[in-house]
Structure 1
Amino acid sequence: MLVIEFKARANAAQSAAIDEAIRTAQFVRNKCLRLWMDQKGKGKYDLNKYCKVLANEFEWARKLNSQARQASAEQAWSSIANFYRNCTNNIRPVGYPRFKKHSRSVEYKTSGWKLLDLKRIRFTDRFGIGELRLIGTYDLGYYTPEQIKRVRIIRRADGYYVQFVLSVEVTADRQPTGKAVGLDMGLEHFYTDSTGHHEPVQQFYRQSQAKRKRLQRRLSRKAKGSRNRAKARQRLARHELKVSRQRKEHAKRLAYCVIQSNDLVAYEDLRIRNMVKNHCLAKLIQDAGWYQFRLWLEYFGKKYGAVTIAVDPAYTSQECPRCGAIVKKSLSTRTHVCACGCELQRDHAAAVNILRKGLRTAGHAGTWLLDNQNAWGDLTSTVQHSGAEVQVES
């Protein structure tokens, strides 16, 4: 699947109509979730059938396109299915489905919209959204209308966006490099690879805190319900959106560089939801953006044909990469020193262990990479600002 996003140019009346459609989609989703809670044994198709009951019961719910109502019911069932899966796999917390209070999107399937040309779309439900102009550089003419499976309208702090979900298999050719790398995520460095190269951490949230506090003070001084308060809240929301986009772009560029430089990438399978329970490190962990980096690694790995392996991080920072002995260390101990004579920076040693775990998981694929390497696992390294093909020498 491929998602293409455009910014939509909408006037005040169209913005009000989009907001009403979003609220209606949220209502349908919450009502379907309530049906599942109240009546035992309801399944996915029961929720889809319930959409017609809601349309007959509420006149304003009928304004939303029938397939858009079904898409909202499918979103409710997606949260229910995730809950069942977590219970089956004994994942904690299981994530019991919750009602949505502030939805920001409405999704249409193959009806309720019509693409007029490459830069204009018209929504045909009864909310009166009408024609929206699309702003962006993507070329929809490259794809057939049958490949467009979903259309979403998303509200963000800086306006409205239209997403097209395309049924397209995204692949690209890449010359094999014959190299593999293990990545250890950290707070002192964003990641350390199995050659000892450290990628510096970019604390976008920490760097923007001064401006954020200033905007929050201005917001708190405005009278509740006033127009000036709405403007101040909008400025704060745009600032937060900018910080999140900076973090996303940073993770995207690093992941692209790593995938272009290696045929196999091993990384830690971190449970970030459990890690942020440490209130001393929660802000730093959230600001690092490890999970977003992992998502882009997996996406680019699939696109360019590289192998990405998530390994269990247990004892990767305690085990000696030379002899395999367990050397207990606290978080404040940043150097690995073993009785066998191995002395490495802590994150470097962990990255080597992660790479070895990844190679064992992959079977025989890539084991030849260790034949002529030393015990440190000096295979390859990545440099963000030097181009995708440039490597750090061991």
Structure 2
Amino acid sequence: MLVFEFKTYRKALQFQAIDQAIRTTQFIRNKAIRLWMDGLAKSWVELSRHCALLAKEFPWASKLNSMARQAAAERAWASISRFYDNCKKKISGKKSFPQFQKNCRSVEYKSSGCKLADNRKSITFTDKNGIGRLKLKGTRDLHFYQINQIKRVRLVKRADGVYAQFCIDVNRRELIAPTHQTVGLDVGLESFYTDSLGQKIENPRFYRTGEQKMKRSQRLVSRKVKGSNNRRFARKRLGRVHLKISRQRFDHAVKLARCVITSNDVVVYENLRIKNMVKNHCLAKSINDAGWYQFRVWLEYFGKVFKRITIAVNPSYTSQECSNCGVIVKKSLSTRTHVCQCGCKLDRDHNASINILNSGLGTVGHTGTFALDASNAWGDETSTPSGVTLIEQVMS
């Protein structure tokens, strides 16, 4: 599944119609959650039937396309299913109990309610909300795909406008020549990562770079009167600052992951628990700013696209163990050089990356991988599964 995104251009009345469709989506989702809480719906089919009853009860809800109403109920059932799965897996802590949505920003159309123009430059929404025709601007070309391959269309509201997302049912595969190279990656805060060859990639620190501008924009929001137009404009400026930082981090992760995958046949990295690591309040901001999780997700996705092997290994003692003799050399975070009694002297991160590579080539990888929805367009069959050696995966 691929997701192509285009920015839309519209008039003020069309913008209001999009807002109304998004509010209707939020209303139907919250009603579906309430129905489940009251014990009146125990399956997705019952929630889907309830959408028709809501359309009859509330005339303004019937203006939204029937498929879009069902998509809103699907969102509710997705949160319910996730809660059930977390309970079955006995995940510690919160189980993600379904919550009422307060700030919905998207509406989703399925097989009806919208029609793409023949030139693929505009899209027309045909329901009773009055959205009408929207012009599309983007770098992707939809002419390569048939209309029946476009399974869903989303309208997503962001700080700098409204975007149209097209979910296309296609399996992306690209063939490139083998490089006969293997690499181990040790991510860090001083440098984004250090590979087993000793090369370091600088940590861009996008959040730290834009923090001053963000604080200034936040102060301007706080000074404005609540409910005024000036405060609304200040909030939009603040939202654009946050949006720019998130896009910078996203772009950095995608380009770097693609470069690593296309340059190596086997990529080994640590199976880090980011959720536990950010509990350290001294390092939480820097860890979130680095974006290790997003980098790993794109590594696995491009590994599936280019048919490369990605292995996630246990991070225990990768920094303490000597890559030359295997002796454990205790060191604190402030010690940046690994010195062993066998005479091995390496950079701390370089030593860790060699251990990560050796561990990945000598053992099995991470059990399973991320299972993400189509809106993110990642893969879910990339990491080496449990009980399968590296050679067996290559042969399969």
- TM-score, normalised relative to structure 1: 0.88
**Which residue matches 2:85?**
85
Are residue 279 (structure 1) and residue 281 (structure 2) matched?
A: yes
Name the aligned partner's letter for residue 231 of structure 1.
F
The 3-state SS of whatever aligns with 1:175 is: coil
**1:348 and 1:367 mapped to 2: Cα distance?**
27
**2:331 and 2:82 mapped to 1: Cα distance?**
36
Structure 2 CA distance for partners of 1:212 and 1:172, relative to 1, 3 Å: same
Are residue 365 (structure 1) and residue 391 (structure 2) matched?
A: yes
**Which residue matches 1:288?**
290
**Which residue matches 2:65?**
65
Structure 2 CA distance for partners of 1:356 and 1:83, relative to 1, 3 Å: farther
**1:146 and 1:17 mapped to 2: Cα distance?**
26
Unaligned runs of 5+ in 2: 365-383
Tell me the alpha carbon deviations over residues 293-342 of structure 1, each in whole angstroms, 9 at most, x when there is no partner.
Answer: 11211121111111112222222222232333333333222223334333
Name the aligned partner's letter for residue 306 of structure 1.
R
**2:317 and 2:36 mapped to 1: Cα distance?**
42
CA positional deviation for 1:89: 2.9
Structure 2 CA distance for partners of 1:30 and 1:233, relative to 1, 3 Å: same
CA positional deviation for 1:40: 7.6
**Which residue matches 2:29?**
29
- TM-score, normalised relative to structure 2: 0.88
**Which residue matches 1:305?**
307
**Which residue matches 1:157?**
159
CA positional deviation for 1:348: 1.6
**Which residue matches 1:381?**
none
Query: What RMSD over aligned residues (CA atoms) do the two structures have, in Å?
Result: 2.0
Are residue 188 (structure 1) and residue 190 (structure 2) matched?
A: yes
**2:131 and 2:205 mapped to 1: Cα distance?**
40
CA positional deviation for 1:367: 12
Are residue 140 (structure 1) and residue 142 (structure 2) matched?
A: yes
**1:138 and 1:367 mapped to 2: Cα distance?**
34
Tell me the alpha carbon deviations over residues 68-100 of structure 1, each in whole angstroms, 9 at most, x when there is no partner.
Answer: 111111112222222233333333343222222
CA positional deviation for 1:143: 0.8
CA positional deviation for 1:61: 1.6
Name the aligned partner's letter for residue 7 of structure 1.
K
Are residue 252 (structure 1) and residue 278 (structure 2) matched?
A: no
> Which runs of structure 1 show a deviation greater than 4 angstroms over 4 or more consecutive aligned residues?
none
Structure 2 CA distance for partners of 1:182 and 1:221, relative to 1, 3 Å: same
**Which residue matches 1:386?**
none
**1:367 and 1:14 mapped to 2: Cα distance?**
52
Percent of residue pairs bearing the same amino acid type: 60
**1:10 and 1:172 mapped to 2: Cα distance?**
36
**2:84 and 2:201 mapped to 1: Cα distance?**
38
**Which residue matches 1:116?**
117
Structure 2 CA distance for partners of 1:84 and 1:347, relative to 1, 3 Å: farther
**Which residue matches 1:49?**
49
Contact 1:180 1:366 in 2 (8 A): no
Structure 2 CA distance for partners of 1:187 and 1:69, relative to 1, 3 Å: same
**Which residue matches 1:200?**
202
**2:77 and 2:311 mapped to 1: Cα distance?**
29
Q: How many residues align?
A: 368
Structure 2 CA distance for partners of 1:281 and 1:246, relative to 1, 3 Å: same
Structure 2 CA distance for partners of 1:90 and 1:194, relative to 1, 3 Å: farther
CA positional deviation for 1:364: 4.3
**Which residue matches 1:5?**
5
